[in-house]
Amino acid sequence: MKEQALGFIGAGNMAGSLIGGLISDGYPPENISVSDVDAAKLNDLATRFGVQTFEDNKAVVARSQTVLLAVKPQVLEQVVRDIAAPVRERAPLIISIAAGVREAAIDGWLGGGASIVRCMPNTPALVQTGATALHANERVSTDHKSLAEAIVRAVGIAVWVDREELLDLVTALSGSGPAYFFLFMEAMENAAAEMGLDEATARLLTQQTALGAARIAIESEDGPADLRKRVTSPGGTTERAVEVFENGGLRSLVFDAMKAANARAAELSKQLGG
């Protein structure tokens, strides 16, 4: 895998995170090339990681066995159409992290017949704790799937879904999910501050509690329901708080929120050519 020439089109934060994770895992920087219209971003990646940089996307395709599309969904069509000829000539594996753009649309812009993997990463990938779901079209080989998974595992965990439309649900879950947790943390901080704690203390305690709860959940073989019961003593303070959440309809509110996010992800996919 580390002998593969890997090209990134787009030098934004997610590309930088993936490149940093790959190099930390021992991927040779000389086997990574990056293109972008922003010379400052290219210079930053070249300085930090020693990768090859180009302002021409076609130059990256010409030297890559795998091409990772890391541009905004709104400009993806233009970018893909521009590299269609060298992609047809070299037939690299195409990996897209552009949210909402379907494999069929990308394949059509390329002229058809491409091997495409779509990924839905989330923002914690920027700190090497990402959760990424992947889907491959029918032309992607087992070796290519292993390569795509290894790339995204450089910044966290990776899971495959068997139907592309499930990536919309993944968007609603792990893609948008960090914002849900931030909102809950914000509410906890504000409540503690209103009840007497200074803001700095409320924030620190909230952050560490969130970190600790997540770590317990990750390291435990038990599910969240069992973990919750384990820390909820009968007649205690936690039980009283949980009762308020349950009586307030927290579960149905979360379901409705995720359903709305899932529907919006599907709408955006259609708008972006999906």
Answer yes or no: is 175 a known binding residue.
Answer: no
3 state DSSP class of 116:
strand
Give the C-alpha separation, 248 to 181, whole Å: 18
pLDDT at 159: 98
Second CATH level (architecture) for the domain 6-167: 3-Layer(aba) Sandwich (3.40)
Answer yes or no: is 10 a known binding residue.
Answer: yes
Residues of the chain with CATH 3.40.50.720: 6-167
Answer yes or no: is 31 a known binding residue.
Answer: no
pLDDT tens profile 142-173 = 999 999 999 999 999 999 999 999 999 999 99
Give the C-alpha separation, 132 to 187, whole Å: 27
The residue behind tokens 């970018």 is 79
| Interval 214-221 mean pLDDT | 96
Give the C-alpha separation, 193 to 251, whole Å: 25
pLDDT at 274: 54
Residue pair 95/68 in contact (Cβ under 8 Å)? The answer is yes
Chain mean position to CA 94: 16
Residues of the chain with CATH 1.10.3730.10: 175-269
264: how many CB neighbours lie within 10 A of its CB? 15
How does 161-186 read in b/e, with b if 16+ C-beta sit within 10 Å?
beebebbbbbbbbbbbbeeeeeeebe
Answer yes or no: is 9 a known binding residue.
Answer: yes
Answer yes or no: is 11 a known binding residue.
Answer: yes
pLDDT at 31: 96
Answer yes or no: is 13 a known binding residue.
Answer: yes
Answer yes or no: is 57 a known binding residue.
Answer: yes
At residue 273, does pLDDT exceed 80?
Answer: no
Residue pair 132/125 in contact (Cβ under 8 Å)? The answer is yes
- The CATH code that applies to domain 175-269 is 1.10.3730.10
pLDDT tens profile 126-143 = 999 999 999 999 999 999
pLDDT tens profile 65-88 = 999 999 999 999 999 999 999 999
Answer yes or no: is 229 a known binding residue.
Answer: no
Residue pair 15/75 in contact (Cβ under 8 Å)? The answer is no
Answer yes or no: is 29 a known binding residue.
Answer: no
